[in-house]
């Protein structure tokens, strides 16, 4: 059975993404602190199993296990030369899990460094690094790209431009991670909602979103309303996506632990959907059970 392109599908109402990858890897016994992205090469069956669990739970699309697979993050693990191999393998695994009926989004996270003058990155280097990652994902057969957990406007801008330079007709989604401080929602780098939405939309993405961050479920719902308001000022056609965490983490020792139940998560996601968000999944602390209950609640 053939299916419509992801670009078309994004415009056709509710689309469910997956939940977290990292927590599921740990649940399957992978070592904390290892390079998760290298598991695409080393232990593809484990990654495939997680994608399969999310599709089984009701996801329409999964994100490749490549969040940190740009050369700057990989360099910390001595893997800077393996960008293409890791991304292509990650895309191929997700493609196998998705088959021809479900979708694969090539996942691209931040570089972990800052652009000049704050950090050492030059724009051209960063652009080349994101294009290299996107090229590897494209070669592995993704249906589109998702740039997420961004906190700086200059970095998200370069990431979008770089991905679009190789993506051809494939859709590109981009999101930023917000916290709530007394003056309102801001990314770690101080970007507000209106600036994030207007900048990202102006770059011609297929959907603009928010993910991760340190927020309660109620705050994610509030953020969704403000995102929708900011988008509606620009155009009524802006597509919004959200991947909230399973609530605000509690620190146990030095590890964040997420305790929100699948039912509470799904109830919040329903309100996020009602606020005008049509593409929904989960970030840190969400697992297949969260997606399963979410799918039941949103599709009923």
Task: Tell me whether the omega of the peptide bond preceding residue 117 falls within 30 degrees of 0, making it cis.
Answer: yes
Q: What number of residues does the chain have? A: 300
Least distance in angstroms from the C-beta of 245 to Zn ion: 5
For Zn ion, what does the binding mask look like between residues 281 and 300, x meaning CB under 5 A?
--xx----------------
Q: Give the span between the Cα atoms of 14 and 143, in whole angstroms.
A: 17
60: Cβ contacts below 8 Å, ≥ 6 apart: 9, 15, 16, 17, 102, 103
Residues 53 and 292 sit within 8 Å (Cβ to Cβ): no
Residue 104 or 212 with smaller CB distance to Zn ion: 212
Least distance in angstroms from the C-beta of 234 to Zn ion: 26
For Zn ion, what does the binding mask look like between residues 102 and 141, x meaning CB under 5 A?
----------------------------------------
Least distance in angstroms from the C-beta of 211 to Zn ion: 6
Residue 106 or 247 with smaller CB distance to Zn ion: 247
105: Cβ contacts below 8 Å, ≥ 6 apart: 6, 17, 61, 62, 63, 64, 142, 143, 144, 145, 146, 173
Q: Which of residues 212-231 bind Zn ion (CB under 5 A)?
A: 212
* Strands of the chain, DSSP E: 15-16, 61-63, 103-108, 144-150, 172-176, 178-181, 184-187, 207-211, 240-243, 250-252, 255-257, 279-280
Residue 90 or 285 with smaller CB distance to Zn ion: 285
Q: Which of residues 16-45 bind Zn ion (CB under 5 A)?
A: none
Interface with Zn ion includes 146 (CB under 5 A)? no
For Zn ion, what does the binding mask look like between residues 254 and 283, x meaning CB under 5 A?
-----------------------------x
Q: Which of 213, 225, 176 has the alpha carbon at shortest distance from 196?
A: 176
Residue 138 or 284 with smaller CB distance to Zn ion: 284
Residue 195 or 214 with smaller CB distance to Zn ion: 214
Least distance in angstroms from the C-beta of 80 to Zn ion: 24
Give the single-character DSSP code of 135: H
Q: Give the span between the Cα atoms of 82 and 23, in whole angstroms.
A: 24
Q: Which of 241, 247, 251, 258 has the alpha carbon at shortest distance from 22?
A: 258
For Zn ion, what does the binding mask look like between residues 179 and 218, x meaning CB under 5 A?
---------------------------------x------
Q: Which of 268, 223, 277, 212 has the alpha carbon at shortest distance from 245?
A: 212
The footprint of Zn ion on this chain (CB under 5 A) covers a number of residues equal to: 3
Least distance in angstroms from the C-beta of 243 to Zn ion: 7
Least distance in angstroms from the C-beta of 19 to Zn ion: 10
Residue 72 or 178 with smaller CB distance to Zn ion: 178
Residue 238 or 283 with smaller CB distance to Zn ion: 283
- Backbone φ, ψ for residue 64 (5° rounding): -65, 155
> Contact positions toward Zn ion, by CB under 5 A?
212, 283-284
């Amino acid at each position: 059975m053939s299916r419509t392109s992801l670009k078309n599908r994004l415009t056709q109402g509710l689309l469910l993404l997956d939940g977290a990858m990292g927590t599921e890897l740990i649940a399957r016994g992978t070592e904390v602190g290892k390079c998760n992205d290298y598991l695409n090469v080393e232990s593809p069956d484990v990654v495939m199993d997680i994608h399969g669990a999310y599709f089984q739970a009701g996801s329409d699309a999964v994100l490749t296990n490549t969040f940190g697979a740009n050369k700057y993050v990989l360099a910390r693990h001595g893997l800077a030369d393996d960008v293409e191999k890791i991304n292509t393998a990650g895309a191929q695994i997700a493609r196998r899990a998705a088959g021809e009926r479900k979708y694969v989004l090539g996942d691209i996270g931040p570089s972990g460094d800052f652009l000049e003058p704050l950090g050492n990155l030059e724009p051209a280097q960063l652009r080349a690094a994101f294009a290299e990652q996107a090229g590897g994902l494209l070669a592995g057969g993704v249906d589109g790209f998702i740039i997420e957990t961004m906190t700086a406007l200059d970095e998200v801008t370069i990431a979008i431009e770089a991905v679009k330079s190789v993506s051809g007709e494939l859709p590109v989604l981009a999101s930023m991670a917000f916290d709530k401080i007394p003056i309102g929602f801001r990314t770690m780098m101080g970007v507000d909602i209106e600036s994030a939405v207007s900048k990202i939309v102006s770059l011609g993405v297929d959907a603009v979103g928010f993910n991760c961050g340190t927020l309660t479920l109620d705050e994610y719902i509030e953020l969704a309303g403000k995102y929708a308001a900011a988008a509606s000022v620009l155009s009524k056609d802006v597509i919004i996506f959200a991947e909230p965490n399973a609530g605000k983490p509690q620190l146990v020792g030095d590890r964040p632990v997420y305790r929100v139940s699948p039912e509470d998560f799904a109830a919040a996601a329903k309100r996020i959907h009602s606020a005008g968000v049509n593409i929904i999944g989960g970030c840190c602390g969400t697992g297949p059970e969260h997606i399963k209950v979410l799918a039941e609640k949103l599709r009923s």
